[in-house]
Amino acid sequence: MFDPNALLRTHLQKLVPYSSARDDYKGNEGVFLDANENSLGSITEEDWNRYPDPYQKELKARIGEVKEIDPKNIFLGNGSDEPIDLLFRAFCEPGKDNVIINPPTYGMYKVSADINNVEAREVLLTAEYDLDIETIKCAVNENTKIIFICSPNNPTGNDVSLDKIEEILCFFNGIVLVDEAYVDFTIRQSFALRLEEFPNLLVLQTFSKAWGLAALRLGMAFASEEILAILNRIKAPYNLSGLVQRTVLKALENLEKKDKMVDQILKNREFLGEALKQVPMIKTIYPTDSNFFLVKLENASDVYKKLIDQKIILRDRSKVALCEGGIRITVGTEKENELLIDALKNLN
C-alpha cells in the first residue's frame, strides 16, 4: 500500500510546524490580542488588518462544491508553482533523489528540480507526443520520487494517453503528478475525480487559464489527505493572501461567465485552427486539447522576431527537443486571431 510518509525526507519526520493561537480558537468573533496585528484597523477602506485563514477553509469548501471534490483533498497554493516546489522539498533529498519529466513539457518541473538540487531524468515523449512508457520504466530507480505528467501537455497541446497515465499510476510507488492546467479545454474527465482509485496521484489545476485569474496566483493540488497533510506541514502559514481568498470566493459566484468564456475560446480555437491551415508557410498544425496550438514552420525564429516587431507576441519553441521549428500560439480574441493570420500571410 502506498504511504507518502515513507517517502518523506528524514529530517522532516521530526518537523514541528508553525502554529498560532488561532489553531486553538476557531471563532470569527472575539478579542484578538494574539498575533500582533493592528487592532485599530487598516490604512485602506477594507478590513485587511487580520491575518488570513491559513487553511483557506471557506474557499476550499466552495472549490470543493464547484469541482465535486472533498475539501480535505484540496490544497491551495500561490500558483501551481508552489505545490510543485513543496513536493520537491517534502520528498526529494538534494543530490540523491530524482524525478522523471517528459519533455517537451512545462518548464517549471525542471527549474524547480534544479533549484532544489534534484536530478530531473528526461524521458522524451514519442514522435506522436505521447508518453514513452517503456523508457519511463527503465528510468525509474529506488531514488525516483515523482513522475511529472502534463496533460493536456504544454507546449504540444495534446492530452497524453489515459491508459498510459493509469499504467504509470499502477506500477510506480512514488508520487504521480498529473498537471491539468488546461483541463477545461479538453473533453476528457479530470483525474481529480479518481483520487480514491490511486493513492499516489496528485492532480494540479490552476485558476490562471480557463478562469482568467492568472494575476491573482491561485493553484490547486488535489490528492489524498495523507499527501496533503505533508504539504500543509511545510507550507508557509499564510501562503494565500486574504485578497486572493476573498476575490476568488466572489468570482466563484459567477460560474456561468467562466463556462461562456471556455465556449468562446473553443470557438475561437476552431476558427484559428482553420485559418492557420490557409497560411502557406505553416507546415504542421498539431491537434490541440488546450487553449493554444503548436505549429511548425520554416524559419520559425525569424517569423517569431518579425511578429514581435509588429507587437504580436508568440512563444518560440523552435530550439526545444521534438519541437524544432515550432511556435506556440495562444488562442486570442476573434480580432487578435485575425490580426495574427493577416500578419502571417503578409510576412516576407
- The nearer residue to ligand PMP, 37 or 81, going by C-beta atoms, is 81
Distance of CA 124 to the CA centre of its chain: 20
Give the span between the Cα atoms of 99 and 84, in whole angstroms: 12
CB of 298 to ligand PMP, least distance (A): 26
The rounded distance, in Å, linking the Cα atoms of 313 and 295 is 15
Sequence-distant (≥ 6) Cβ neighbours of residue 51 within 8 angstroms: 20, 22, 35, 37, 238, 242
Q: Give residue for cell 533523489.
A: 97
Measured from the CB atom, is 22 or 155 closer to ligand PMP? 155
Q: Give least dist CB 19 to ligand PMP, A.
A: 28
Q: Which of the stretches 29-37, 38-46, 74-82, 274-282 binds ligand PMP when contact is defined by CB under 6 A?
A: 74-82
Q: How far is the CB of 271 from ligand PMP (least distance, A)?
A: 22
157 binds ligand PMP (CB under 6 A): no
Residue choice 7, 147, 181, 323 for contact with ligand PMP (CB under 6 A): 181
Closer residue to ligand PMP in complex, CB, 150/240: 150
Residue 238 amino acid letter: Y
Phi and psi dihedrals of 138, rounded to 5? -70, -30
CB hemisphere CA count around 110 (13 angstroms):
10
Binding mask 96-135 for ligand PMP (x = CB under 6 A): ----------x-----------------------------
Burial code (b: 16+ CB inside 10 Å, e: under 16) for 295-323 equals bbbeebeebbeebeeeebebbbbbebebb
- CB of 266: closest distance to ligand PMP in angstroms? 18
CB atoms within 10 A of CB 238: 14
Peptide bond into 104 cis (omega under 30): yes
Q: Which of 98, 154, 158, 318 binds ligand PMP (CB under 6 A)?
A: 154
CB of 39 to ligand PMP, least distance (A): 35
C-beta closer to ligand PMP: residue 52 or 83: 83
The Cα 330–Cα 327 span in angstroms is 10
Residues 204-233 that bind ligand PMP (CB under 6 A): 206, 208, 214, 219
* Rounded Cα gap, residues 211 and 150, in angstroms: 19
Among 59, 101, 113, 150, binds ligand PMP (CB under 6 A): 150
User: What per-residue string of b and e applies to 261-279 under the rule 16 or more CB within 10 Å gives b?
Assistant: ebeebeebbeebbebbeeb
CB of 181 to ligand PMP, least distance (A): 4
The residue with its CB nearest to ligand PMP is: 79
- Tell me the site size for ligand PMP, rule CB under 6 A: 12
Is the CB of 148 or the CB of 304 nearer to ligand PMP?
148
Euclidean distance between CA atoms 245 and 54, whole angstroms: 10
Q: Identify residues 161-180 at the interface with ligand PMP (CB under 6 A).
A: 179
As a residue count, the chain comes to 348
CB of 129 to ligand PMP, least distance (A): 14
Our CB check for ligand PMP shows the closer of 17 and 107 to be 107
Torsion over CA: 246, 248, 254, 257 (sign)? positive
Which spans of this chain sit near ligand PMP (rule: CB under 6 A)? 79-81, 106, 150, 154, 179, 181, 206, 208, 214, 219
